[in-house]
Structure 1
């Protein structure tokens, strides 16, 4: 018969059993993961790559950012060969670069709760608020001037 005393008597036993079951499952999964990722690399190098992968996992390139990159390619198609144009995504902004060189950034795209902003790499680091990424096209003259400074 199921009474309060019987339930109280079996509660710690069941709790311990469930904890042991969960621990075994977690250990099995960890062991399997470790066996599949065994390599000849040094542990220090592996931990650095793990850190990089975790940081990269937090960075998500959105369609709006890729659209901004595409619009820059359209704006600059007559100024430079398009294979010189690159992008890098960070947690706080999206860079559009010349020659994949961070010192030659053309513009940065930032998204927040109020909308989209671009920061141009001109003398004043001018910031414009935009309704959407297509509005970048309105600043094509400024973008071309920035790229011409690097040529």
Structure 2
């Protein structure tokens, strides 16, 4: 199997494990050890993977880290695992932080099986950064994420390449956060920078306050124009009607989600009035519902800048994931869409 196929298989395993692997040990067995296998390690070879790795830290004796991964004769990764139900934002990983400082490891990995966070020492040598430089979500990834993850494969490992990429990812993440913050609520310095390029008068406090809503509107309009341009290609110039079909307040709705919604509508139109097929956006996915009823899901679109996939439904049954190479592959699931719509008409 290729690396892509290995990761896709691991993602399917993770989806199944969510409901049952609630303890830390269960998570290790169901997802974390298979993840290390995906990275090219023989998890049963102590020359490669050392479980319950002990490294005394100062006065603390006998503390253990879940796994130490060796490449050649050197420990390169320290892995701390949490249960699948743990939110990594709230997780305590002081052992990983302490062990990183006292060992020769270059990479610290914190995971709950679904989310995998990678740390290194960009800010200070031999001191693990507080913030991960790379996050991989097994349920939501794209080709760029796969490319970055593959750098951690045992056979491709190069700490020089990883640290170079880590530095780029760190600043890219910072730039995206800054732009997003300015889009939501531009600060005075940013507004002044924009205003200086288009306003010839003196930038008084009153003028800056006047420009703040203009800058916010400019972000929104620019996004809308770019979305319309992409949709014009997809819908033969009729993008405006597609945009109007979505509540203006749902600014997180992407052009890909709109395109996916229109494809589902087109399929469903064969068996039901399109007015009964409604989009309802959410933070992690975009739902397409029958009669705008959460109990009547037709499909879910997972297109949030990561691996594109859909979840299809049968009436009264749990959803099934299908990975997509392109949005147009939704048409391959025409029978599933029409079948569930017919069930809601019955």
Q: What stretches of structure 2 of length at least 5 have no aligned partner?
A: 1-204, 214-247
Matching residue within 45, 67, 81 for 2:259: 67
Task: Tell me: CA distance 1:57–1:138, structure 2 relative to 1, closer, same or farther (3 Å).
Answer: same
Task: Tell me: CA distance 1:57–1:98, structure 2 relative to 1, closer, same or farther (3 Å).
Answer: closer
- Select the structure with the greater relative contact order (CA < 8 A; seq sep ≥ 6): 1
Task: Tell me: CA distance 1:58–1:72, structure 2 relative to 1, closer, same or farther (3 Å).
Answer: closer
* Helix, strand or coil at the partner of 2:283: coil
Answer whether contact 1:107 1:119 (CA < 8 A) is retained: yes
Matching residue within 327, 334, 337 for 1:140: 334
Task: Tell me: CA distance 1:58–1:73, structure 2 relative to 1, closer, same or farther (3 Å).
Answer: closer
Task: Tell me: CA distance 1:149–1:110, structure 2 relative to 1, closer, same or farther (3 Å).
Answer: same
Task: Tell me: CA distance 1:134–1:112, structure 2 relative to 1, closer, same or farther (3 Å).
Answer: same
Task: Tell me: CA distance 1:145–1:92, structure 2 relative to 1, closer, same or farther (3 Å).
Answer: same
Quote the offset at 1:111 in angstroms.
Answer: 2.5
List aligned pairs for 1:50-61, cutoff 5 A.
Answer: 59-61=251-253
Answer whether contact 1:58 1:91 (CA < 8 A) is retained: no
Query: For residues 103-145 of structure 1, what are the alpha-carbon distances to aligned partners after superposition, in whole Å with 9 as ceiling and x for unaligned?
Result: 1111101135652010012224110000121100000001111
Name the structure 2 match of 1:111.
Answer: 303
1:96 equivalent to 2:96? Answer no
Answer whether contact 1:96 1:106 (CA < 8 A) is retained: yes
Which structure is larger by alpha-carbon Rg, 1 or 2? 1
Answer whether contact 1:120 1:127 (CA < 8 A) is retained: yes
Answer whether contact 2:285 2:304 (CA < 8 A) is retained: no
1:126 equivalent to 2:320? Answer yes
Quote the offset at 1:57 in angstroms.
Answer: 6.5
Q: What stretches of structure 1 of length at least 5 have no aligned partner?
A: 1-24, 34-55
Task: Tell me: CA distance 1:58–1:139, structure 2 relative to 1, closer, same or farther (3 Å).
Answer: closer
